[in-house]
Every structure is written in C-alpha cells, then in structure tokens.
Amino acid sequence: MSTYLIGDVHGCYDELHSLLQQVAFDPEKDTLWLTGDLVARGPGSLEVLRYVRSLGNAVRIVLGNHDLHLLAVYAGISRNKPKDRITPLLEAPDADELINWLRRQPLLQVDEEKKLVMAHAGITPQWDIETAKMCAREVESVLSSDSYPLFLNAMYGDMPNNWSPELTGLARLRFSTNALTRMRFCFPNGQLDMICKEAPDSAPPPLKPWFAIENPVARDYTIIFGHWASLEGKGTPDGIIGLDTGCCWGGSLTMLRWEDRQLFIQPSNRQQNNETSDAALRAE
C-alpha cells in the first residue's frame, strides 16, 4: 500500500495516466492525493474529472482556484475563457454529475496518522490546524448546499486579506477561499497580499512567500501544496512541499511517494510556444 501525492493536473490527462503507470498505481490498495486545479489549460479536463471521480475512496483531493472557477462558469456566474479549454467538459452529457461531485470535494485534507496536511495554495501563517479545519469546513458546507451560487458569486475579490475570528458571512468565506486556493505572498504578520505574482526572489519587500513565515501548522505536520508552478517544486523549507511543476505550461507532472519520499516525473506532452505569454498566464 502506497500513498502518492501529485501536483496540479490542469487537464493533463495523458500525463497523469502515464505517471500512474510508472508506479503501477492500484486503486484497490494505493491512495492518490491531488493538490487541486484538476481542470483548465490542458486538453483533457473532462477525462481527468471522470477518471478521478471513478477512483472513489482511493483518491483524496482538494479544490483549487481553477476548480472553483469551473463551478462558477457552470453556474453562469463567470464566463468561459477559451484558454481554459473546458468547453468539452461543460457540454458533456455527464457534466451535471461531475460538477455536483466536484463541488462536494474538500478544500483541506488532513491525515493525523501520517501528519500530512494538503491545501491547494497552502496554509496561511495566521492559522493553526484547528482554525484551518474550521474555515475549510465552512466553505465546504456552503459549496455543497443549495445556496452555493451565492457564494460563488461573492468569492471573487482580494479583501478582506487579514484573518480575524470576528470575520463573518461572505467576507469570512472569501478570506478562507483566498487563503486556501489563491495565496502566494504574505506580509511579515501573515496578512495576505493578493496582488504580487512575481517569483519569490523578485517580490518587493516586505512581502515574503507564505511558507517563508513561521507557520504553526508546519510545526506538527508536513504541508503539501500546489498552485505555484514557477517554484518548480523548489525553494520551500523542510516540511513544506510544493508539487506543482507546470505540466500544462510544458513543464512536468510531479508525484511524491510518501512512504520512501521518492519523486516520479512525467514530462509534459506539450511545449511552450511563447514563454512571455505563458509567464503571464501562470500568474492567474
């Protein structure tokens, strides 16, 4: 029995299939963790969702910002961007089933036995593990309810950017969603900066990557995240692991086998056609 953790798939179904073949992944005995952003930008978002859903209890995922955006597009709240390449998914005969399954997935995974925590963007330094679990559950609860379109309509925005237990309503849900699915940089006090999308060494002071600030959760757990392709899986401290290596941008899909910490790499089937435009798209 092995535990495999894979970075952002972004519709790269062929690469996902090839990567799992490398280790002869067996859903009858192995477990697959996925860091979110299952869809968009790659050509196989529909195939990825169908496959991941078929794995049942053998898979543990978290929702990413592109997954949430898909939900908003399907609900008629946001527009379908051609560059996301999700039209085949939106028009599929089983789209309703896939979307309803997706919106019932978590934003946070915690394994107390393995001391593993996974969120798409990471864990804000302003939270301890109990706060992170509480805030994730609140978002998950409204997403799985009949009132989810109200939340999807209100989730876009960069404020509030500072955690307080006194936050309520949609403002609280928006902060939690940004922290779990969009965060990259923070101020030294842990306050989110939702504007800067530079490489970590190019950010203006006093901004720091969220993982460069003392994090209460990292004291007791290994934190697994995706979202930040330009990191290429590098530059994080011990106990915080970034697995997004930009497969949809022509990079690779990266998988970590937890039991022996071995990495497996599947190169992208695509090549970057324009580094300048890709760099701009990565920041979205």
Q: Please give the domain boundaries of the chain with CATH numbers for all domains.
A: 3-282 (3.60.21.10)
Rounded to whole angstroms, how far apart are CA atoms 28 and 31?
8
Q: What is the pLDDT of residues 43-88, one digit of tens each?
A: 999 999 999 999 999 999 999 999 999 999 999 999 999 999 999 9
Per-residue confidence (pLDDT) for residue 283, from 0 to 100 = 47
Instruction: Give yes or no for residue 91 having a pLDDT over 80.
Output: yes
Strands, sheet with 109-111, edge to edge from the N-terminal-most edge strand:
109-111, 116-118, 222-225, 240-242
Instruction: Give yes or no for residue 90 having a pLDDT over 70.
Output: yes
pTM of the predicted structure, to 2 decimals: 0.94
62 contacts 105 by C-beta, under 8 angstroms: yes
Per-residue confidence (pLDDT) for residue 284, from 0 to 100 = 53
Q: What is the pLDDT of residues 226-271, one digit of tens each?
A: 999 999 999 999 999 999 999 999 999 999 999 999 999 999 997 5
Per-residue confidence (pLDDT) for residue 273, from 0 to 100 = 38
The sign one gets for the Cα dihedral 198, 203, 209, 212 is positive
- Tokens for 180, please give them: 């779990």
